[in-house]
Structure 1
Amino acid sequence: MFLLNQHPYYRKPLDPVDAETLGMKAAEEVERYLTYRDNHAPTPLHTLPTLAAELGAGTIHVKDEGFRLGLGSFKALGGSYAVIRIVLEEASRRLGRQIDVAELHSPEVRSIAAGMTVACATDGNHGRSVAQGAQLVGAKSAIFVHSGVSDERVAAIARFGAQMIRVEGTYDDSVAEAVRVASEKGWTVVSDTSWPGYERVPELVMQGYTALVSEALRQLPEVPTHVFVQAGVGGVAAAVAGHLALVLGDKRPIFVVVEPARAACLFETAQAGHPVKIEHGAPTVMAMLECYEPSLVAWRVLSRVADAFMIVDEEDAVAVMNRLARPAGNDPAIVAGESGGAGLAGLVRAAASPDIKAALHLTGASRVFVINTEGATDPERYAELVGMRPDAVATSIEGADA
């Protein structure tokens, strides 16, 4: 299914708050914060010439967030950044002066952070980022996970010292429980989705994601003509689309939001013209995208700057995982988790449809940009779906680079 954006706000300027959050100065500030993080380095940008030729595109570039800050996902940029900002703001309030990130590890800031607990709900990657951020600043973290989150992903979060809390039901149920418990205990909720009255922290999370766009624009040989980005609640899609619109203006690329058919809350929202909560059905293999209600902030941005919305099926995502692990021609091998290649799966599906190709003006001159949003964050599941362990794919990558 495919839908062009027909919202009345389409192509209207961003809300001033969103423009400030996602603009050039904000991205520069995020990148400054990253210089104080261990393991910080720009993530790779890969070129897929063989796949581009097969799909009838000019070029395909993939930003590989599987290498981000040792967490294996773009989410490392968002939750931890928001935690750092929240702790520094609380320290500024208590100490009566502006506290910069350069003072993050000072005794005064560490003492204040030690008395704070941050909480969130997660499918896996956001919680890992929040827990890592809490550990980095010396705060406590409580992470709520729904019944569909694998034990491997829970363990990956717990290693950062987080208190893990299981919740029956879906991701949305875990969000509600995190808010309820945090309110009772005086914890600070660091969510990557927003709802009425709760917007600033999700904006900070989205702001953190702008760093990957800034990096990509420096790495790309030319500005892309098309961008396909996957969405759960819509945070990364809105951050990428919003930043590109603000930085590039009329030269911005055609932007397509890609979702799993089993969890297409933004597609349904775009179709209805207003935020829609969809019914929970069969779980999707794209576990990090299994969200049934959009972030209100993300929708506010995407209603203005997304050009189209589309969905992909389970087999589309798995096929891309396998294609990236076993590339053809001169394409590099890439480890993409179940949700990591969903944007690329959208491109593959679009290229196979003459109607969608025409609607998006996809041609042999198109320069397409996609994001591998996660590596193998659940190695056992990856091996089950791809038939190779992620370390075996990674070994082939290292061999090709040698």
Structure 2
Amino acid sequence: MFIANPKASRQPYPDSLKAVMSIAKAHESRQWLSRWSQLNAGATPLYSLPDLAGALGVAQIMVKDESVRSVLGSFKALGAPIALVRLVLRTFPEQQFDPHGLLDGKYAGVLADFTVVSATDGNHGKGLAAAAQSMGCRCVIVLHAQVSIEREQAIAAYGAQIVRITGNYDQSVEHAAALAASNHWVVVSDTSYDGYEVIPRDVMQGYGTIAAEIVEATATGAAKPAFTHVFLQGGVGGLAAGIVSYLWEQYGAGRPTFIMVEPVQADCLYQSALAGRPARATGSVDSVMAGLACGETSPLAWRFLASSVDYFMTIEDDQAIAAMRRLAAGSARDIPLVAGESSVAGLAALECLVEAADRATDLGINANSRVLLISTEGATAPGVYAELLGESAESVLARQSAWAPAA
């Protein structure tokens, strides 16, 4: 499915949105996280894939590789930790905590009885659990039926208490809220709902680090971006809002074209575009793209996406798997990449559009297009990755290490 967003506009970044999320706040969050032990030093790579670009008939394809952001394996290492830091600073103002000291565990004794809870498909929960462990507070994670045992074990390894439910993601969100209410815990969620926007805002603001690094890596001194099209993964919309808000403020009316991509069975953002308001998915919400298997749009994220995303589309699971294999294979001039199930939605969508030439024309995708993709995770569930590809992540990484670009 594919639609143009009738409400998309080209205008400077509105002050009303800037008051919620801004480049300045994104830079503050980035600085606070810069010394956290769970993050690797420096920016993540931004690779150019010239052979893939040639095969798809565009001028350039750039891939931001978030798989090496952290030992946690995904971009979520930027969202939950900064939200937890800001939550603790608000909760204990009298303590005058230093943000770096919080993540270093300097105040663990004070925070020992402070408990946070969240529902997750995997990566957000792992990021929150790791941050809580570093800071010395307690963390409870609610997992729904489709979250693999492998992902559960990865979260539990960071000291989180695991609560399993039999329902789907949206039911796990409801269960986490009920646990918080009955136990006086605090929900740290990446999706907003009525009366709950501050923490999801902080999560989204953390993702601005990705956009900041992209801008720094591609800065040409010109007012226009170095890329014409940006493909964004769906989910509840948090990552997309974090990226869009930064690039929109940076480039104003000259921003790139934004394309939102979701699994066909988890199409809440697509349905929101149709309805003109936050909406629910129409499918089963059971997708191999586990990180995007969300049934309800975050209303806060939608405020940033409603007039900035130019096109919304959905893809099938088998198209995502094919894109994983394409990135893993590499080529003479394209470095092999380990990209997890949810991270390849943008590439899968680009391939679909190129196959339907009229759609590509509608989007202005042609031989002059410079496309930005964000590979949001690596093999966060190594067993699932190997099963889908018929090859382990270690094998792909070995090929990556041995790769040298053709002259």
Does the TM-score normalized on the shorter chain lie above 0.5? yes
1:288-299 equivalences in 2 (<5 Å) = 288-299=291-302
Deviation at 1:103, TM superposition (A): 3.4
User: What letter is aligned with 1:178?
Assistant: A
Q: Name the residue aligned to 2:287.
A: 284
Structure 2 counterpart of 1:251, one-letter code: G
> 2:308 is matched with which residue: 284, 287, 305?
305
Q: 1:122-161 CA distances to partner (integer Å, 9 max, x unpaired)?
A: 0000000110110111111000000000000000000000
Checking the alignment, whether the CA contact within 8 Å between 1:14 and 1:301 is kept in structure 2 is no
Q: 1:355 aligns with which of 354, 358, 367?
A: 358
1:99 corresponds to: 97
1:153 maps to 151
Q: Please tell me whether the aligned partners of residues 121 and 144 of structure 1 are also in contact (alpha carbons under 8 angstroms).
A: yes
Between Structure 1 and Structure 2, which shows a larger proportion of helix residues? 1
Identify the range of structure 1 (341-350 vs 125-134) with the bigger mean alpha-carbon deviation. Answer: 341-350
**Matched residues in 2 for 1:317 and 1:168: separation?**
26
Q: Which structure 2 residues correspond to residues 176-187 of structure 1 after superposition, within 5 A?
A: 176-187=174-185
Match of 1:6 in 2: 6
1:261-340 residue pairs with structure 2 within 5 A? 261-281=264-284, 283-340=286-343
Q: Point out the more displaced range, 159-168 or 13-22.
A: 13-22
**1:106-129 C-alpha deviation (Å, 9 max, x unpaired):** 887323321211110000000001
Query: What is the distance in 2 between the residues matched to 1:107 and 1:171?
Result: 31
Structure 1 residues 36 and 21 mapped into 2: Cα distance closer, same or farther (>3 Å)? farther
TM-score by length of 2: 0.94
Q: In structure 2, give the amino acid aligned to 1:298.
A: A
For residue 339 of structure 1, what is the amino acid of its counterpart? S
Contact persistence 1:10–1:303 (CA under 8 A) = no
Matched, 1:204 2:207: no
Which secondary structure does the structure 1 equivalent of 2:69 belong to? helix
Deviation at 1:314, TM superposition (A): 1.2
Does residue 66 of structure 2 align to residue 65 of structure 1? yes
1:256–1:306 contact (8 Å) kept in structure 2: yes
Query: SS of 2:207's equivalent?
Result: helix
- What is the letter of the counterpart of residue 34 of structure 1? L
1:26-82 CA distance string (max 9 Å, x none): 121121112221133211111110110111110000001111121111111001111
Instruction: Name the SS for the 1:3 alignment partner.
Output: strand
CA 1:115–1:224 in 2, change beyond 3 Å: closer, same or farther?
same
Aligned equivalents of 2:62, 2:21: Cα separation in 1: 22
Q: Corresponding residue for 2:223?
A: none
1:87 counterpart residue number:
88
Change (3 A) 1:158 1:108: closer
Secondary structure at the aligned position of 1:133 is classed as helix
Is the Cα–Cα contact under 8 Å of residues 264 and 292 in structure 1 kept in the other structure?
Answer: yes
Determine the structure 2 residue equivalent to 1:49.
Answer: 50
Residue in 2 that maps onto 1:30: 29
What is the rounded CA distance, in whole Å, between the counterparts of 1:173 and 1:398 in structure 2? 42
Q: 5 Å matches for 1:184-195?
A: 184-195=182-193
Letter in 1 for 2:75: F
Query: Could you list the per-position Cα deviations for residues 293-332 of structure 1 after superposition, in whole angstroms to 9, with x for gaps in the alignment?
Result: 0000111110021111111111110000011111233111
Q: Which runs of 5+ in 1 are unaligned?
A: none
Instruction: Give the corresponding residue for 1:381.
Output: 384
Contact 1:230 1:343 in 2 (8 A): yes
Change (3 A) 1:282 1:292: closer
How many angstroms apart in 2 are the aligned matches of 1:315 and 1:154?
Answer: 24
Change (3 A) 1:397 1:209: same
| Alignment TM-score, normalising by the size of structure 1 | 0.95
1:12 offset after TM fit, Å?
5.9
Of the structure 1 ranges 282-291 and 56-65, higher mean CA displacement relative to structure 2 is found in 282-291
Residue 76 of structure 1 aligns with which residue? 77
Within the candidate set 249, 253, 267, 1:250 is matched to: 253
Aligned to 1:217: 215
TM-aligned CA distance change 1:44 to 1:107, over 3 Å: closer
8 Å contact kept, 1:23–1:247: no
2:121 is aligned, of 123, 128, 138, to 123
Deviations 1:235-271 (A, max 9, x none): 1011111111011112210011101111111001101
The alignment yields a C-alpha RMSD, in angstroms, of 1.8
Gaps of 5+ in 2: 221-225
Moved more, 235-244 or 35-44: 35-44
Contact 1:91 / 1:109 at 8 angstroms: preserved in 2?
no
Structure-2 change in CA distance of 1:28 and 1:186 (3 Å): same
1:107 to 1:71, Cα distance in 2 relative to 1, 3 A: closer
